[in-house]
Amino acid sequence: MADKKSKKKDKKLESKAEDKKVESANTGLPLFYKKPVPIDSKAHVKMGLKKFDLGFTSEVNAVPVNMIEMPQICHFYPIAFSPDANATPVAILGLRDGENLFVNGKGEWLSQTYVPAYIRRYPFIFSEMPESDKFSLCIDNSDSVMDEKSEQRLFDDKGEPTALTNNALEFCKSYHAAALQTQGFSKALSDAGVLVERSVQINTGNNKKISFSGFRIIDEKKLAEIDDKTFMEWRNKGWLPFIYAHLFSGSQWQRLTSLLSERAPAKAA
């Protein structure tokens, strides 16, 4: 919630966090964000959010997802895990660099398709406050995001957060909590040794193929071989449905192939 102790003339929107080791706009820019700045009533009292489409995602072929999203994600996108130590789960949006198959030239997402929370959160994000266990609500400070003519204001004439800002704060708080859960989930999978590197060969027609690599998946054989103690621990934590959602999502690679073949004129592979 907003920090009531903040001075009214410079009110920042903050939230207490249980763990500082989370995404921060101060330590490297996250995907999509160019210049995230804390929202406060002094700097943004007249500012509002522009209406913009999802065209900002058009050149990204994967986005992070949270564990709790996997049962929805698996019906539309393949779920993979990043090859680094974080083993971040991601939704695969395209088969070629710089191409999102789920957004068209008008910035519209594919009809009746779930949009990952990471995308829906933009242009808002949490940023860790120096020497504090609190996080400040930030917004991407871009001309394409904010201006003084928008009716979707961040603050009212009294300097109080509008419903738009309060809803953004609540969404970011929920996202933050889900991200913390996902970190533990991913670490457990990585530590158990069930994640393996994979690559796929996609036939795009006309004797052309695409090799997609640089990701990991859960190996079903290794999963079946984990010890009973680990399996019961995962079950008690409620992780099994998310593991199965990931495995089920493998059927969506074919959907990406179909979307790629439908896209015309296609980029050179």
How many domains does the chain fold into? Answer: 1
Residue 61 lies inside a defined structural domain of this protein: yes
Residue 249 lies inside a defined structural domain of this protein: yes
Work out the end-to-end distance of the chain between its first and last CA atoms, rounded to an integer number of angstroms: 47
Let me know: does 210 contact 204? Beta carbons within 8 Å. yes
Residue 14 lies inside a defined structural domain of this protein: yes
Residue 269 lies inside a defined structural domain of this protein: no
Helices (H), the chain: 41-44, 70-73, 117-121, 163-192, 220-224, 228-236, 240-248, 253-262
Residue 2 lies inside a defined structural domain of this protein: no
- CB-based contacts of 40: which residues, under 8 Å, 6+ apart? 10, 11, 12, 13
Say if residue 78 is exposed, middle or buried (CB neighbours under 10 Å; 0-12, 13-18, 19+).
Answer: buried
Report the candidate in 249, 243, 245, 248 with the shortest Cα–Cα distance to residue 189: 243
Report pLDDT digits (tens) over 167-221: 999 999 999 999 999 999 999 999 999 999 998 888 776 667 888 889 999 999 9
Residue 217 lies inside a defined structural domain of this protein: yes
Let me know: does 269 contact 96? Beta carbons within 8 Å. yes
pLDDT at 6: 37
What 3-state class would DSSP assign to 256?
helix
Q: Which residues pair with 210 in a beta bridge?
A: 202
Domain range for 212: 8-262
Residue 267 lies inside a defined structural domain of this protein: no
Report the candidate in 58, 18, 37, 19 with the shortest Cα–Cα distance to residue 267: 58
- CB-based contacts of 219: which residues, under 8 Å, 6+ apart? 194, 195, 196
Q: Is 139 left (phi over 0), alpha (psi -120 to 50) or beta?
A: beta
Let me know: does 191 contact 208? Beta carbons within 8 Å. no
pTM comes to: 0.85
Position 110: which residue type?
L
Report the candidate in 189, 202, 181, 190 with the shortest Cα–Cα distance to residue 65: 181
pLDDT at 49: 94
pLDDT at 265: 52
Report pLDDT digits (tens) over 137-171: 999 998 889 988 888 999 998 899 999 999 999 99
pLDDT at 21: 31
Residue 268 lies inside a defined structural domain of this protein: no
pLDDT at residue 86 tops 90: yes
Mean pLDDT, all residues of the chain: 86
